[in-house]
Amino acid sequence: MYNCANLRPSQFSLELALQNFRYNILTFIKEHPETEFIMVFPAYSIFQYKIIKKEQYFDAFVEFEQKIYDELLLCMNVKLYDFQSAEELIY
């Protein structure tokens, strides 16, 4: 439904990103309670975080991730793995 592929970082919209997540991912997860989903949040390079901060959407990015976590944690058929704070991978 929503295509964010052509957006520049400065055009990041928290609300659009959440709608995209809910429509394309969360709906699918809820429609298939018999399936176990493994969600992986990979480690980003420290340079990626610098770009996010430079483009001034760091706060929205962090809020987006937190909202995703909160919604996924309510799904009994989802396991979350987050490597974004693994210092040995991001530095």
pLDDT tens digits, 35-83: 999 999 887 777 777 777 777 777 888 898 899 999 999 999 999 998 8
How sure is the predictor about 14, in pLDDT bands with cuts at 50, 70 and 90?
confident
Residue closest to 40 by CA, chosen among 7, 3, 89: 89
Structure pTM? 0.72
Q: How far is CA 6 from the centre of its chain?
A: 17
- Report how far apart, in Å, the C-alpha atoms of 2 and of each of 9, 15, 33, 44 are: 16, 11, 24, 24
